[in-house]
Structure formats: C-alpha cells, structure tokens
Amino acid sequence: MKKRLFPIILTILVWAGMYYYYLPPLNIHSRDSWVFILTVLVVGIVINFWTIFRAVFLDRSSPERAMNKKIMKKLLIVPLALAVFYAGGTLLSSPILRASAYHKLLDVEQGDFTTDIQEVDYNKIPILDSASAAKLAEREMGSMVDMVSQYEVSSYFNQINYQGKPVRVTPLRYGDLIKWITNRNTGIPAYIQIDMTTQNVDLTKLEQGIKFSPFEHFGRNLYRYVRFRYPNAMIRSTNFEIDENAVPYWICAVETKTIGLFGGTDIKGAIVVNAITGEHVYYDISEVPRWIDKVYDANLLIEQYDYYGTLKKGYINSVFGQRECLKSTEGYNYIALEDDVWVYTGVTSIGGDESNVGFVLMNSRTKETKYYQISGAKEVSAMSSAEGQVQHLGYNATFPILLNIAKEPTYFLSLKDEAGLVKKYAMVNIQKYQIVAIGDTVAECERVYRSLMAGNGISTVDTDNALTVSGTIAMMKDVVADGNTYYYLMLEGNDELFEVEAKKYLGILKKQVGDTVSLEYVTDSTGVNAVIGIK
C-alpha cells in the first residue's frame, strides 16, 4: 500500500511545486494554463510510469489487470479531448474566421492635428530615450557609494507624467541573492527619477523600503503575491509608477480574451499594488485613477491598430488584394498630452510605400485612438536625414517624437554619440522632409528650424494671436545668427524681450535707444517675443 501511495504523494508535491514556481493563471483563456496542464500531465505520467506499466502489462495474473486497462483507456481520452478542444478553440479564435471582430477591437477617431496637439514649450520636450535614461541612471548609481555595493539599477524604465513633466522612473534591485538575504528586512531603499527634458537624475530615498517587487523571492515576489490573491487574473504587463505624492506602485494590467477562447486580447482592468505596504486594489478599466499613465502596453495598442488597418475588408483581402490596408510603421514613441501618455506611431500602406499616409496617437490609460491623415516621411527616413547632417560626427538618431511647431507636423530627434550621450538635436518637417534643422540645444534647433521653414515659404507666425505694445526703447542689441541679423529690444517698464529680423523689417535700422516704437508681436515658445510688425 505504501509503495502505491508514495508516487501519488510525490506527484502531488511536484505539481504543487510547479504551480508555486510557474504561477499560471487558473483561467481557461490562458495559453499558459493549457501548457501548464499538459506539462503536469507529462510529469505525472513520468513519476507514475512504473506503477502504470506494472498494473497494465506485468501483473498478468492479477484480476485487476482488465479493470486497469479499461481505466487507462478512459484516461487516454482526457489528453486527446484537451488537444481537440485546444485546436478548435485556436481556430475559432483566429483572424482567419473572425476578421470582422478583430477589426472592431479598436475604435479610431479622426483627429485634428493643430487642435489636439498644441505647440509645446521646448522646455517640456523629452529629449531622452530609454537607453540614454538607463546610462544616466547607471552613472548616478555609481556615485552613491553607500548603495552601489548592494543594489543595481533595474530595467523597469517607465515613462510617466509626474507633476506636469515627462519623467522616467525605475526602482533599484538587489545586487544578487546574498544581498537580498542581508537587505530584505529593510527592502529596496530608493528609486530613480529621470527628468526627460533636463536630463537631471534624482535618487529618491524612501522612509520605508520597497518590499514587494519582481526582485523579491517567496511570498513578497510581486508575481507570486498577485497570483495568490488573484488566481484567475491573466497579468499581461507590470509597470512601475509613482503617484503625485511620489509613492511607488506596481500597475499590473489584467488581460482578457474577447474573441473565442484565445483571441481578441484586450485589457479589462488593473491591479494596483503599493510597492511598500503591499496594499492592493483592482480597478475596472473605466475606473483606473488618472494618475496612472500606462495600462495598455504599446505592443498591444499597435497590434490592435494593425488589425483595424488590415482587416477592414476581411482576412483574404489582407493577404492577397490588400485594398485599403494600412499598418503601423517600424517603432513607436511616447507623447505627453493633457497629463496622459500617448503612444505615437506612423501609418503606411501595406504595399510597402516609403512614406507615411498618416499617424495615430493611442492613449496608454484609456485606449482612446486618433488618426491624423498627414502624409510625409517615414520615421526611419527622418532618422537617416538627421544622421546625414552630422555624418562626420558619427552620431545616431533616436526614434522621433511628434511635435507641433508653427502648426507644422514635425519630427523631433536626439542625436547620440557612441557612448549613448545626447550631443545634438534635430527637427525634420514631416511633409517637406528636406527641411532638417540641427542644434546644440533644443532652443537653437527650433530657431534654425523656424528659419528654414520661413525660407521655404512656410509661415511660422501665428498672426491670429498677435499682440501690440508701444514704448521707449531701453535696450537694443544686434546679433548675427545663420547669416541673418536680429535686433533684440527691451522697452522701458517692460521686462519682455522682443526679436526683430532686420531683413524683414528694415525700419529697425533707423531706431536707437530712447526712440519711441510700436511693435506687433506674437509670443514664442522660447520666451522671446517675435516681432511681426513695427512702427
């Protein structure tokens, strides 16, 4: 009797250990669960192989042999039935049969570029990509003598909006298993915050350490902690964020299948875990707090847009005719709009055109999607153009972000050296991509870009919002930039600075300090008022 019980008990223990390690969701819609079931069946057969073999083939004189054979035949039906069910579920969930349902996964609105994307202050333009942010974080960590021996910078570089500015945040992680053992009682003492516009790196130390994270073991491991409290939840992604009070949280996006057994991947909600205390709350997708920036990951949003763009006229058309089929371009980036993080990617025809027909913005919290029909250069073409301007320096361009400069859709790129440090900046006009501006600072790059657009007949002045001012000239200086002469004025009792381009307004040459002048001007994102009329 003991010999028969031992393999059964061993099997149960091994299965429990496998579940504790692999943590599959107990959900029929999860492929991981199906793989886990298949694996535990195979493991169970291996452990009990000798018992099964002896009962069916060796004990020929046993009266139970016939019954054992019948039981084994019935048990063999189970994996066969599971295989048929899995194959059928996969087929019925595929875009081949459910193209219309996949097309409807995403609602796409037509957007207005100049209305939806306001001209951004260049002081708020994110100039770092994830790789550059990681290098800055490593440098900052290297200067923290009291921490660098015990902790490392983790790979969770998540871009969020924090107090109105784009930042990337990442927690530290234990250096190794021994350092986890010696530091687990206090937890991870800090996280790193990187300002995407100024490149400032701030190591934020916590009064109480982070005790729930993917870097923990046993019950405090984030995935195990969430799994045992939400056994059915299919966790698609885990992001590190901070709220407006700088409290760290883990945002676990909960996946659902909306088409058949395995198809139509979408997000139904989020499990929010306080990284310090372990307090957890589940929110339906419509109730996720506004301070959370990312629930939908970029890959899922782009996948859904590709279904929307290619399956409009059915699956067969997407493969053969490909009429009216659109797809996303290579790569994506993030844009901060109204305290939300939006995923940006270009849109091109599926036939392999070398240009974009438009672009989409997709909200990482709500999945709201807007399409802008603006044709122009692909992102990779803009990157090549920018690199070509500095090819003697060997700089590499980052994937561009989308800006509104003087109502013109514009690619903004950072140019990095071999060490991954940002050295210069570039702006490329999407529709007239021969207009490429390079600058050592963002402000200089914007100035050169506006000058190039004006030289190509593109107005950079918003005359609808023009203002007027009169007064006595208190200060007047001339500056030569890019072969053009500019005069900078200040009026008595007015601390604003006014810029006059001499070749456009020759009357400025007759003015001097002490003269009275009347100026028509527009405000500029650089903080300098651009004069568009002078009397």
Is residue 248 within 8 Å of residue 275, measured between CB atoms? yes
- Rounded to whole angstroms, how far apart are CA atoms 156 and 297? 13
**Tokens at residue 322, please?**
């490909």
What is the predicted pLDDT for the residue at 54? 62
Is residue 133 within 8 Å of residue 196, measured between CB atoms? yes
Is residue 13 within 8 Å of residue 220, measured between CB atoms? no
What is the predicted pLDDT for the residue at 464? 63
Which of 259, 225, 229, 302 has the alpha carbon at shortest distance from 29? 259
Q: Which residues pair with 459 in a beta bridge?
A: none
Which of 168, 167, 148, 166 has the alpha carbon at shortest distance from 157? 168
Number of CB atoms found within 10 A of residue 264's CB: 19
**Tokens at residue 186, please?**
């206090």
Q: What is the pLDDT along the chain (535 residues), one digit of tens a residue?
A: 556 677 778 888 988 899 999 999 999 999 999 989 888 888 887 887 666 666 555 555 556 656 656 666 666 777 788 888 888 888 989 999 999 999 999 999 998 888 888 877 766 788 888 888 888 888 888 777 778 788 999 988 888 988 888 899 999 999 899 999 999 999 999 999 998 888 889 999 999 999 999 999 999 999 999 999 999 999 999 999 999 899 999 999 999 999 999 999 999 999 999 999 999 999 999 999 999 999 999 999 999 999 999 998 899 988 888 888 899 998 899 988 888 899 999 999 887 667 889 999 999 999 999 999 988 888 998 999 899 998 888 899 999 988 888 888 999 999 998 888 889 999 999 988 889 999 988 888 888 888 888 777 776 666 666 788 888 998 999 888 767 788 898 999 888 898 888 887 888 888 889 888 988 887 766 668 888 788 7
Which of 387, 384, 382, 385 has the alpha carbon at shortest distance from 410? 382
Residue 68's alpha-carbon distances to 2, 4, 80, 83, in angstroms, are 19, 14, 19, 24
What is the predicted pLDDT for the residue at 163? 84
What is the predicted pLDDT for the residue at 292? 94
Q: Which CATH superfamily is domain 463-534 in?
A: Nucleic acid-binding proteins (2.40.50.140)
- Rounded to whole angstroms, how far apart are CA atoms 504 and 312? 51
Cβ within 8 Å of residue 274, ≥6 positions away: 212, 247, 248, 249, 280
What is the predicted pLDDT for the residue at 436? 92
Q: Global pTM?
A: 0.83
Which of 113, 93, 110 has the alpha carbon at shortest distance from 307? 93
What is the predicted pLDDT for the residue at 68? 59
The string of DSSP codes covering 266-329 is: EEEEEEEEETTT--EEEEEGGG--TT---SS-HHHHHHHHHHHHH-TT-HHHHHTT-TT-EEE-
What is the predicted pLDDT for the residue at 324? 82
Question: Angle between the 2-22 and 31-47 helix axes, to the nearest 10 degrees?
Answer: 150
